[in-house]
């Protein structure tokens, strides 16, 4: 009669393989938890907000220096601040999101289009038949949820044709980035207001703002 203490090699191998699987699942679960924690604190740290604020100030100073020769209208100033703030926000994302890459790509495309406006193009003659014929637009009613998803895809840059799970991921990151942008610009506005009514010891952002 064989002793019960003798182990079966096949059983031991199966146990070892199952143990390795459990370890891999545990490590994978820990990595996912760590990734979720990292995503939750993204755009919410003071270091990111300070870095964004400093980059924004430098970019605005450069834009103002380029426009000193011909002072723009107030509407152009507002548009410059808005475009610069969004561009720096996209740069701060470091290309890790679709919306940030879309902002930078659209900016480059706009610059190319503006440069092409100064070039002369030959006008193509359009025949009367082609001009007069228009295809009828088919009106289709979409379900309410699908309409909301489509609107959300239009609000997030570069995300019109994304699947719904990816769209939610991009939208949550974009909203968090915009919230950080609002906090940073609100802090800068407070510094500017305080600098006009109060002269105190300059801090990091104040020294950048006070430089000519």
- CA of residue 59 relative to chain centroid, distance: 18
Q: How many domains is the chain built from?
A: 1
In the chain, which stretches have pLDDT less than 70?
Answer: 1-12, 26-41, 69-75, 111, 113-140, 195-212
Q: What pLDDT digit, counting tens, does each position of 108-154 carry?
A: 777 676 666 655 554 544 454 445 455 555 556 889 999 999 999 99
**Nearest alpha-carbon partner for 86 in 169, 178, 156:** 178
CA 208 vs CA 45, 57, 87, 184, 192: distances in Å: 21, 7, 19, 15, 11
Is 24 within the bounds of a domain? no
State residue 204's pLDDT score: 42
For residue 46, give the 3-state DSSP assignment: helix
Is 8 within the bounds of a domain? no
**Nearest alpha-carbon partner for 201 in 210, 212, 190, 193:** 210
Residues 6 or more apart in contact with residue 105 via CB below 8 angstroms: 158
Question: How far is 212 from 210, CA to CA, in rounded Å?
Answer: 6
Is 122 within the bounds of a domain? no
Residue 73 half-sphere exposure, CB side, CA atoms within 13 Å? 3
Is 132 within the bounds of a domain? no
Is 71 within the bounds of a domain? yes
**Nearest alpha-carbon partner for 59 in 92, 93, 102:** 92
Q: Is the pTM higher than 0.75? A: no
Q: In which domain, by residue range, is 172 found?
A: 48-111+145-193+205-209
Question: How far is 174 from 180, CA to CA, in rounded Å?
Answer: 10
For residue 136, give the 3-state DSSP assignment: coil
User: DSSP secondary-structure letter at 3?
Assistant: -
Residue 206 half-sphere exposure, CB side, CA atoms within 13 Å? 12
Question: How far is 11 from 16, CA to CA, in rounded Å?
Answer: 9
Is 118 within the bounds of a domain? no
State residue 18's pLDDT score: 77
Is 43 within the bounds of a domain? no
State residue 205's pLDDT score: 45
CB 55 within 8 A of CB 84: no
Is 58 within the bounds of a domain? yes
Residue 157, exposed/middle/buried by CB under 10 A (0-12, 13-18, 19+)? buried
Residue with tokens 């909203």: 175
State residue 135's pLDDT score: 52
State residue 185's pLDDT score: 93
């Amino acid at each position: 009669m064989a002793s019960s203490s003798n182990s079966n090699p096949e059983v031991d191998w199966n146990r070892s393989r199952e143990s390795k699987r459990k370890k891999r699942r545990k490590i994978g679960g820990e990595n996912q938890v760590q990734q979720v924690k990292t995503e939750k604190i993204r755009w919410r740290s003071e270091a990111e907000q300070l870095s964004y604020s400093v980059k924004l100030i430098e970019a605005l100073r450069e834009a103002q220096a380029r426009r000193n020769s011909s002072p723009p209208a107030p509407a152009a100033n507002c548009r410059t601040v808005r475009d610069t703030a969004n561009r720096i926000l996209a740069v701060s994302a470091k290309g890790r999101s679709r919306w940030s890459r879309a902002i930078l790509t659209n900016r480059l495309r706009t610059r190319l289009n503006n440069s092409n406006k100064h070039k002369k193009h030959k006008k193509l003659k359009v025949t009367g038949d082609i001009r007069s014929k228009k295809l009828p637009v088919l009106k289709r009613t979409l379900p309410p949820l699908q309409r909301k998803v489509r609107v959300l895809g239009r609000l997030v840059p570069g995300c019109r044709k994304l699947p719904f799970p990816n769209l939610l991921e991009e939208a949550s990151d974009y909203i968090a980035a915009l919230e950080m942008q609002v906090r940073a610009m609100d802090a800068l506005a407070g510094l500017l207001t305080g600098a006009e009514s109060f002269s105190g010891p300059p801090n990091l952002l104040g020294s950048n703002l006070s430089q000519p």
